[in-house]
Amino acid sequence: MTARVLAEQAVASVFPDAMARLAAGLAVVTTRDAEAPRGLLVSSLCSYSVAPPSVLLTIDRGSRSYRPLTEGAEFGVHLLADTQAAVADRFARRGADKFAGLAWEWDDGVPRLRGVPVYLRCALAMVFAHGDHAVVIGEVAAARVGRGDPLVYFGRRYDWRLRGPA
């Protein structure tokens, strides 16, 4: 085995632990295919640009949402509140109807979940693939901002409570 392969294996084994130390907000990204609404939980969301207002996220190329999200016109981004861990769990699971029993509605062809602190309807702007994921950039076409503290992912858990300054 070459030194380079050994180094790559060493990095691969610590990389998940390294990334577990990065605190991130959690969001549900929604789209649809010919049959039904689709969605998944992401921690990779970030603000991309102000002009035009855009977000960036990464999506696993094996995700059921991959094709509809990267080939569709628009998608929804829902920032979750710290009271919505059950919603996060539901959208982190594969298969099943993730929308059954949830309060949601169509918003110009995009599934919109009710009761989230922030909802953004995004027009797909760019996709580029690298490795097992693709970067998706969406331009924000509509935004709703409500209330709620964020659901934070850190150390493979999302039961943290973010406390404001004393």
Ligand X SMILES: Cc1cc2nc3c(=O)[nH]c(=O)nc-3n(C[C@H](O)[C@H](O)[C@H](O)COP(=O)(O)O)c2cc1C
Q: Which stretch binds ligand X (CB under 6 A): 73-81, 88-96, 100-108, 115-123?
A: 88-96
Q: Is 44 in the site for ligand X (CB under 6 A)?
A: yes
At residue 158, φ and ψ (nearest 5 deg) are: -135, 45
**Binding marks (x or -) toward ligand X, 115..154, rule CB under 6 A?**
--------------------------------------x-
Residue placing its CB nearer to ligand X in the complex, 2 or 132:
132
How far apart are the C-alpha atoms of 104 and 113, rounded to whole Å? 4
Q: Which stretch binds ligand X (CB under 6 A): 71-79, 87-95, 115-123, 139-147?
A: 87-95
User: Residue with CB nearest ligand X?
Assistant: 44
**Dihedral sign (CA 70, 71, 72, 74):** positive
How far apart are the C-alpha atoms of 48 and 141, rounded to whole Å? 14
# residues near ligand X by CB under 6 A: 15
Sole binder of ligand X in the list 30, 65, 70, 84 (CB under 6 A): 65
Question: Could you give the C-alpha distances from 13 to 9, 16, 41, 165, in angstroms and in order?
Answer: 6, 7, 24, 36
At residue 93, φ and ψ (nearest 5 deg) are: -85, 145
Sole binder of ligand X in the list 31, 32, 42, 117 (CB under 6 A): 42
What's the min distance (Å) between Cβ of 124 and ligand X? 15
Q: Which stretch binds ligand X (CB under 6 A): 11-19, 53-61, 73-81, 143-151?
A: 53-61
Up-side HSE of residue 20: CA atoms within 13 Å toward CB?
9
Structure token pair of residue 152: 């934070």
What's the min distance (Å) between Cβ of 88 and ligand X? 7
Q: For residue 34, give the DSSP letter.
A: S
| Cβ contact 134:127 at 8 Å | yes
Q: Under the rule (CB under 6 A), what is the footprint of ligand X?
A: 40-44, 58-60, 63-65, 92-94, 153
